C-alpha cells in the first residue's frame, strides 16, 4: 500500500492509538492490546489528547474537516516513537489516506513523518519485534475476516502467521476473502440496503465452516457483520485478534 515506508521505527517504547471504536464500544480490545504489548516487554505511552484518525470525514469527502483532525493527531502523537494501532483501517488512514488529503498542503511533511512511524498491531508484533510464533493455547476453530484496509500491507499475513502458530488454534477457510463486509464507514449509511446484503454474504462465508470464534483486525467490520449476526440469531463469539493473543497467554499460564 502506498504510504507504508520501507523503514519504520521498531522501538519497544511506543505510543498507542486506541481508536474511536475502542473508546466507544470495544474497550476490551484496547485492554487486550495493552496486555499483549506489555507481555512483549513494551513501554506504552498513551497520549490523552488523542481523538480520531480523521477517516470518517475523509471517506465522506469532507477533506477540510479530515485535515483538521489529522493535524490534531500529528500534534498528539509527536515524537519519534512507533505509533501502534489495533486497527488496520485507522492505520491505513494514517499512512495512506492522510497522505492523499495533504498532497497539496504545506505541512505534508509532518503527516509523512507520522505515517512513517505508524504500525497496525499484528504488523508491529511480527515485523517490528520479530515475533513469528505466539505462545500459549487457544483450543478453537477461528474464522479470520480480512478487512479491505489491510490489503497491500503485511497486517493480515502477520495476523495469520501469529494465529497459525498458537497451540490448539485452527484457522478455517473463509470464502471470497477479498470481498468487503459492506460497512465502508459512511457507505453503510448512504447505501444501507446494499451494505446489509454485502454483510449478510460476508456472514455466510465467515460461518460456513462452523468456527467457534470469528476474529477481525478491524472493529468497524466486526461491529457491522456482528450486528447482522445478532439479528440473524447467530451467537458466535466475535473478537479482535488482540483478544485471542491475550487469551492464549492466559490459557497457557503466561499472563
Task: Answer for the pair 21, 219: CB distance below 8 angstroms, yes or no.
Answer: yes
Indicate if 17 and 123 belong to the same structural domain: yes
- Residue 203's pLDDT is what? 95
> What is the pLDDT at residue 4?
67
Q: Do 137 and 41 fall within a single domain?
A: no
Residues 238 and 136 in one domain: yes
Look at residue 7 and tell me if it is in a domain. Answer: no
Q: Which of 127, 158, 183 is the last residue of a domain?
A: 127
Query: Would you state the pLDDT for residue 7?
Result: 83
Where are any strands of DSSP class E within the chain?
13-16, 43-45, 83-85, 118-120, 137-145, 167-171, 213-216, 237-240
Please say which residue of 95, 127, 159 terminates a domain.
127
Q: How many domains does the chain have?
A: 2
The closest alpha carbon to 113, from 74, 72, 152, belongs to 74
* The predicted structure's pLDDT at residue 50: 96
* Residue at 2 is within a domain: no
In a domain, 68, yes or no: yes
> pTM (2 decimals)?
0.95
Q: Is residue 33 part of a domain?
A: yes
Our CA dihedral for 107, 112, 118, 119, rounded to 10 degrees, sits at 150
Residue 82 resides in a domain = yes
Are 153 and 60 within one domain? Answer: no
Same domain (yes/no): 201, 219 = yes
pLDDT, position 88: 94
DSSP code of residue 171: E
Residue 27 and residue 98 share a domain: yes
Say whether both 60 and 148 belong to one domain: no
CA 79, 129, 180, 35 torsion-angle sign = negative
201, part of any domain: yes
- What is the domain range of residue 106? 13-127
Residue 1: per-residue pLDDT:
52
Can you give the pLDDT of all 255 residues of the chain as single tens digits?
Answer: 555 666 899 999 999 999 998 888 899 999 999 999 999 999 999 999 999 999 999 988 999 999 999 999 999 999 999 999 999 999 999 999 999 999 999 999 999 999 999 999 999 999 999 999 999 999 999 999 999 989 889 999 999 999 999 999 999 999 999 999 988 877 888 899 999 999 999 999 999 999 999 999 999 999 999 999 999 999 999 999 999 999 999 999 999
Q: Does one domain contain both 181 and 246?
A: yes
> Domain with 192 in it: what CATH number?
3.40.50.11810
19, 89: one domain = yes
Query: Alpha-carbon distance 54 to 72, whole Å?
Result: 9
220 lies in the same domain as 137: yes
Amino acid at each position: 500500500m502506498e504510504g507504508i515506508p520501507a523503514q519504520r521505527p521498531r522501538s519497544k517504547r511506543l505510543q498507542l492509538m486506541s481508536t474511536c471504536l475502542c473508546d466507544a464500544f470495544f474497550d476490551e480490545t484496547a485492554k487486550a492490546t495493552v496486555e499483549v504489548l506489555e507481555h512483549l516487554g513494551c513501554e506504552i505511552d498513551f497520549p490523552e489528547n488523542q481523538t480520531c484518525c480523521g477517516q470518517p470525514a475523509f471517506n465522506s469527502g469532507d477533506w477540510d474537516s479530515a485535515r483538521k483532525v489529522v493535524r490534531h493527531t500529528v500534534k498528539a502523537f509527536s515524537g519519534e516513537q512507533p505509533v501502534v494501532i489495533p486497527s488496520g483501517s485507522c492505520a491505513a488512514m494514517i499512512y495512506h489516506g492522510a497522505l492523499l488529503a495533504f498532497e497539496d498542503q504545506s505541512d505534508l511533511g509532518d503527516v509523512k513523518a507520522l505515517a512513517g512511524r505508524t504500525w497496525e498491531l499484528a504488523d508491529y508484533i511480527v515485523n517490528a519485534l520479530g515475533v513469528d510464533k505466539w505462545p500459549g493455547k487457544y483450543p478453537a476453530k477461528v474464522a479470520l475476516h480480512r478487512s479491505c484496509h489491510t490489503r497491500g500491507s503485511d497486517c493480515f499475513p502477520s495476523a495469520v502467521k501469529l494465529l497459525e502458530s498458537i497451540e490448539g488454534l485452527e484457522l478455517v477457510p473463509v470464502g471470497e476473502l477479498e470481498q468487503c463486509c459492506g460497512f465502508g464507514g459512511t457507505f453503510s449509511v448512504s447505501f444501507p440496503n446494499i451494505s446489509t446484503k454485502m454483510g449478510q454474504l460476508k456472514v455466510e462465508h465467515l460461518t460456513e465452516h462452523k468456527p467457534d470464534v470469528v476474529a477481525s483486525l478491524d472493529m468497524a467490520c466486526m461491529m457491522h457483520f456482528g450486528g447482522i449476526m445478532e439479528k440473524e440469531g447467530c451467537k458466535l463469539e466475535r473478537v479482535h485478534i488482540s483478544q485471542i493473543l491475550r487469551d492464549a497467554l492466559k490459557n497457557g499460564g503466561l499472563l
